[in-house]
Structure 1
């Protein structure tokens, strides 16, 4: 009987030792050193994710800035006094290159274009007077569109030199007739060497005067 009790006691002791060993092993796997290393790894990953997020946001901002400058902030210098008083000689203007992809040029728009599409010439800045399909003629110092005197969106008055517009000028489906507001100092569609401006020759719409001075700001008319 005593031998049986002794065996039972030995078994209980053996089970306690096994249990203590298991607990000890569990403690080893969760010791503070390993936990600290895991926290360090998590911290590094979090910092890397934050840096990647910042880099992505900066890249997006740069792309947006590039698009805005490319399509809305192209700079063109105005040469001459043909657009006085709206623009002065030497004024630097911003050209919207995107607008005419979404809508057609309108009467009264001030545009920048290369005469006859010649890439070696300076940009010319004028106001659109005649639209595709219309007939333009200058009679008695006034502009006539389809034989009707037109004043709206046309700021050239008492035009002394009609040029080729002394006779009716019929515009094709992709052509525009342009004038300078200061007609007496303007080389525009009245001159045979410039003539009608084709759609593909239009660089964009002038919308902002970037030169510091009295004209700085949005084009007034």
Structure 2
């Protein structure tokens, strides 16, 4: 019975024994992931994955029945402030990993993005088991700065595999 249940879960949530392929739609994660690019969402690590800052993750869309891909910037119980000179976590400026900086990725404050989207004052607070996610193309991403809001841990499916 237990073996049958595990096999059913594997069949339901993955297209291979090791993961599920995901095709990026939209430009929210460019230049890291381009529209139409395929990545793998690991299956076995799903049971032990602990989200970390800068991970690229697959997330259940709270508004539709699909997946989205974003980068984790804020962890639970953090105060995140986006300013023109960078990202501040709990009032301490954090440096982007060198691979992101070299790729030209910059996380714009919501106030610098001119759109008709709900935005805050560029200061965000995560609660217990909540994460702040951004798209690498913050001029085009509809991420935690806007309608997406804070993401509960239960909505994070897994880390996306690859050199992201």
Above 0.5 in TM-score?
A: yes
Q: Could you say which structure has the higher strand fraction?
A: 2
Smaller-chain TM-score range? Answer: 0.7 to 0.9
Matches within 5 A, 1:67-86: 72-86=18-32
- The alpha carbon displacement at 1:137 in A equals 1.2
Alignment deviations for residues 123-149 of structure 1 (CA, whole Å, 9 cap, x no partner): 110000000111111122521111111
Aligned with 1:95 (options 10, 22, 41): 41
Which one has the largest radius of gyration? 1
C-alpha contact (below 8 Å) 1:179/1:186 kept by paired residues: yes
CA distance in 2, matches of 1:188, 1:71: 31
- The alpha carbon displacement at 1:160 in A equals 5.0
1:173 partnered with 2:125: no
C-alpha contact (below 8 Å) 2:46/2:157 kept by paired residues: no
Aligned-residue CA RMSD (Å): 2.5
Structure 1: tracts of 5 or more residues without a match: 1-62, 208-218
CA distance in 2, matches of 1:158, 1:97: 29
RCO (CA 8 Å, sep 6+): is it higher in 1 or 2? 2
TM-score, normalised relative to structure 1: 0.57
Aligned to 2:61: 115
Alignment deviations for residues 64-122 of structure 1 (CA, whole Å, 9 cap, x no partner): xx688556321222111111122110112110133243241001110111232x4x433
CA distance in 1, matches of 2:107, 2:144: 17
Aligned to 2:4: none
**Measured at CA, do residues 165 and 135 of structure 1 come closer, stay the same or move farther in structure 2, by a change above 3 Å?**
farther
